[in-house]
Amino acid sequence: MARWALGVAVAAAALTGCTDPDGAATQPPDASGADASPIPNADATDASPSPTVEAAPETGEPDRIAAVRRPDTAREAARRLTWAQRVIDDPSAPPRALVRAARQQQLVYRELGTRSRWDTAVLAGVPAALRPQVRANVASRREFRALHGNDLADTLPAWRIVAPAPAEELLRYYRRGEQSYGIGWEYLAAINLVETAMGRIRGTSVAGAQGPMQFLPSTWAKWGRGGDIEDPRDAIQAAARYLAHDGGARPERLAGALFRYNNSLHYVRGVTHLAEVMEHDPRAFYGYYHWDVYYLTSQGDVRLPVGYERKRPVPVERWLARHHQR
């Protein structure tokens, strides 16, 4: 049962997904190690280890960022990523600082998704310990971008953007799915992020998929066990149940289960990269949790903030004329 995902990481709503096992395509081989655009290893060049404006001026130091924005150079991208990651990895970081760091991280990765010429310089400019995470996040971004080609929308979607459930509440649901069905919580979180920005996107896809994990009603009838398709607890448990049925609790079959959830190798690889980042650094979840909804259009990325609500599509140019983009 193919369906169109909403998707924050993809952010152009152009995926297929949550496939009914009775009519699924052949499962692919393990695709977790492949990248759409391989990122060079920079170890040989350097072996050393809604936002507001901050009062401190921006300097060359990675712990001083004056405003969240897209980087103009590879050096700036590396500096902003380094600062953002330090904040995200700090359990004592104030909530406001964590939100700003996460949004800065997201903007840099979206920019790097289309700037492969920056790869070597960015990797050389971040600490060695951060390089694997940078590679994985950029590779994930490029996988999702590859799904769309040049067929980009001229209108913004008829969606409603809402605040997600609290981070700790979602973590409990992911971990319950792992305990009950053997699907790593990191994979459930990655799917939730990609499908609806962890529940921020409210809207039915063009194929009729619904809820935070984007199930077609027919698939939900089989796997939802009488729950509420819009409830994050019920939806996450159903996703874990669905993936486990296809063998996802076994490492050698996880890629195949993800492919049945969404019939795209780009999707499988993109989700896997995000999940593997969280496996190696569980704090990464708190960065992803605060990522905004971006919709990829013919005019570029358009941020859809909490409070965005449209009952019918709106022309991109009209929206951009009234809403400044970072």
CA–CA gap between residue 127 and residue 193 (Å, rounded): 26
What pLDDT score does 131 carry?
98
When the pLDDT of each residue in the chain is averaged and rounded to a whole number, the result is 84
Q: How confident is the model at residue 19 (pLDDT cuts 50, 70, 90)?
A: low
Instruction: Find the length of the chain.
Output: 326
Q: What is the pLDDT of residues 55-95, one digit of tens each?
A: 332 334 444 566 899 999 999 999 999 999 999 999 999 99
**pLDDT > 90? residue 48:** no
pLDDT at 200: 98
Torsion angle, CA of 252/256/261/266, rounded to 10 degrees? 110
The span from the first CA to the last CA of the chain, in angstroms, equals 37
In whole angstroms, what is the distance from residue 198 CA to residue 176 CA? Answer: 16
Q: Which domains does the chain have, with CATH numbers?
A: 21-33+165-281 (1.10.530.10)
- CA-only gyration radius of the chain, Å: 19
Tens digits of residue pLDDT in 158-198? 999 999 999 999 999 999 999 999 999 999 999 999 999 99
pLDDT band at 147 (very low <50, low <70, confident <90, very high): confident
The DSSP 8-state label assigned to residue 306 in this structure reads T
Helix axes 265-280, 251-261, angle to 10 degrees: 130
Identify which has the larger pLDDT, 191 or 53.
Answer: 191
- Model confidence at 236, pLDDT cuts 50, 70, 90, reads very high
